[in-house]
Amino acid sequence: MRPLIAGNWKMNGLTEDSANLARAIRSGLGDLAPEVLICPPATQLAAVAAILDGSGILAGGQDCHTKRHGAHTGEISAAMLRDAGARYVILGHSERRAEQGETDALVAAKVEAAVAARLIPIVCVGESAADREAGRQEAVVGRHLAGSLGAEFKGVVAYEPIWAIGTGRVPTSADIAAMHAFIRTELVRAQPAGAETRILYGGSVKPGNAAEILALPEVGGALVGGASLVAEDFLAIIRAA
Ligand code: PEP
């Protein structure tokens, strides 16, 4: 399966910054093999998708609502993301689980909404530093998988240990491989498409560590935050895939 390298721009950049970044990534990509995805802020999605059009690089959202439309002030539906050019949507990112109190059940409802709108969900799972120190990482990730994916999940799972996000701290290769093996086992056990589901690693992926991480068994790509905001760094990660 082709690896997927996904950039999560989070709440960064105004229209001109994002347009320049998208153009720089597009022009630097050449005919590199991995599937590449950029998830800009929602207000810039249509403009970024237009810049990427025809390049093979896809655009995605960072979240969506559970409902298709209605009285939900300030929210964005999956259909709206799709209409603006998105093909994927990140769901259940740990920042949303922490800042917006998103639960596994809410994430599962968003997965359903995303699929109904023909978006591919990327569901984030991962343990906190305290969970890892207590040896609870598999219990936490297992709970996220059981609660967030729904019954017949057709999407992507991103393993993102919370303590590795934006910190420069990365689990050992052995720990990443062990967690990805655990996730694969859980997916195969519980999901009809579990054997084919891509599992990304996310958390302080940089040009200097990407090749080693992306070569690990069951690592099907990367979800990249900070390094996706610098065209050369993001391109270097894509080249490492
Ligand atoms: C993320 O927030 O999904 C992420 C992986 O961030 P960073 O690469 O900056 O750690």
The 3-state secondary structure of 91-155, one letter per residue:
ECCHHHHHHCCCCHHHHHHHHHHHHHCCCEEEEEECCCHHHHHCCCHHHHHHHHHHHHCCCCCCC
Residue 147 domain boundaries = 35-198
Position 133 scores a pLDDT of 97
This prediction has a pTM of: 0.98
Nearest ligand 1 atom, CA 206: 8
> What integer pLDDT is reported at residue 212 of this predicted model?
98
Q: Is residue 128 part of a domain?
A: yes
Q: Domain for residue 165, yes or no?
A: yes
Q: Which atom of ligand 1 is nearest to the CA of 222?
A: 5
List, for residues 14-72, the tens digit of each pLDDT value.
999 999 999 999 999 987 678 999 999 999 999 999 999 999 999 999 999 999 999 99
Summarize the confidence of residues 113-140 as an average pLDDT.
98
Cα separation, 203 vs 67, whole angstroms: 30
What is the count of structural domains for the chain?
1
Note the pLDDT of residue 31.
78
In this structure, the dihedral spanned by the alpha carbons of residues 53, 33, 218 and 99, taken in order and rounded to 10 degrees, is -30
Is 160 labeled as catalytic in the residue annotation? Answer: yes
Is the CB of residue 202 below 6 angstroms from any atom belonging to ligand 1? yes
Catalytic residue (choose from 35, 95, 127, 160): 160
- Is any atom of ligand 1 closer than 6 Å to the C-beta of 166? yes
Q: Select from 77, 91, 13 the least CA-distant residue to 51.
A: 13
pLDDT of residue 11: 98
How far apart (Å, rounded) are the C-alpha atoms in residues 220 and 78? 24
Give the per-residue pLDDT at 45: 98
Structure tokens at 125: 């799972």
Query: Which has the closest alpha carbon to 202: 178, 186, 220?
Result: 220
Please say if the pLDDT value at position 229 is more than 90: yes
- Number of H helices and E strands in the chain, helices first, is 10, 8
Determine the Cα–Cα distance for residues 187 and 209; give it in Å rounded to an integer.
26
pLDDT digits (tens, 9 = 90+) for 156-180: 999 999 999 999 999 999 999 999 9
Asked whether the beta carbons of 125 and 147 are under 8 A apart, the reply is no
CATH code (residue 182): 3.20.20.70
Name the active-site residue from 65, 93, 144, 180. 93
Provide the 10 A C-beta neighbour count for residue 80. 18
pLDDT (tens digit per residue) in 175-215:
999 999 999 999 999 999 999 999 999 999 999 999 999 99
Active site residue 69: no
State the pLDDT at residue 77.
98
User: Is residue 208 in a domain?
Assistant: no
Ligand 1 binding pocket includes 226 (Cβ within 6 Å) = yes
Task: Indicate whether 54 belongs to any domain.
Answer: yes
- pLDDT tier for residue 1 given thresholds of 50, 70 and 90: confident
Q: Give the pLDDT confidence score for residue 30 in this predicted structure.
A: 81
Ligand 1 centroid to 9 CA: how many Å?
A: 9
- Measured CA to CA, the distance from residue 11 to residue 24 in angstroms comes to 19
Q: How far is the CA of 175 from the centre of ligand 1 (A)?
A: 18
From the CB of 168, is ligand 1 less than 6 Å away?
A: no
Rounded distance from Cα 64 to ligand 1 centre (Å): 19
Domain annotation covers residue 241: no
Query: Separation of 71 CA from ligand 1 center, angstroms?
Result: 32
Q: Model confidence over 70-112: pLDDT tens digits?
A: 999 999 999 999 999 999 999 999 999 999 999 999 999 999 9
Cα(56)–Cα(35) distance, integer angstroms: 8
- Determine, yes or no, domain membership for 21: no
Encoded tokens for 204: 């302080």
In a domain, 238, yes or no: no
Residue 230 lies in a domain: no
> Ligand 1 pocket, 197 CB below 6 A?
no
CA 50 to CA 174: how far, in whole Å? 40
SS3 state at 19: helix
Q: Between β-strands 120-125 and 86-91, what pairing exists: parallel, antiparallel or unpaired?
A: parallel
Q: What is the pLDDT of residue 84?
A: 98
As a whole number of angstroms, the distance between CA 22 and CA 225 comes to 15
Please indicate whether residue 235, judged by its CB atom, sits closer than 6 Å to ligand 1: no
> Could you identify the residue written with the tokens 């992507």?
156
Give the ligand 1 atom nearest the CA of 224: 8
Average pLDDT over the chain reads 97
Query: Is 224 a pocket residue for ligand 1 (Cβ < 6 Å)?
Result: yes
Pairing of strands 4-8, 156-159: unpaired
